Amino acid sequence: MPHLRERELLMLRNTALFNRLGLPAISVPCGETSAGLPVALQIAGPAGKDAQVLGFARAFERAR
């Protein structure tokens, strides 16, 4: 099972800091690369501002 932990760390490398600090963060899909790979915008905020982070994400999605 050690290989599963390595895979998990690789997949979570962009969010691990926010998870450890307890900060709200969300990843919003925003397109694809020329190779067809997904691209996302990560929005993070200060502690306790979950609703604000979600509001920014919703506004971004609506503006697309």
Q: What is the structure's pLDDT at 14?
A: 80
Quick one: pLDDT at residue 13?
Answer: 80
What counts of helices (H) and strands (E) characterise the chain? Answer: 3, 2
pLDDT of residue 16: 83
Q: Which residues does 47 contact at the CB level (< 8 Å), separation at least 6? A: 21, 22, 23, 24
Mean pLDDT in consecutive groups of 10 residues from the start of the chain, 64 residues: 74 84 94 95 96 97 91
pLDDT given for residue 40 in this prediction: 93
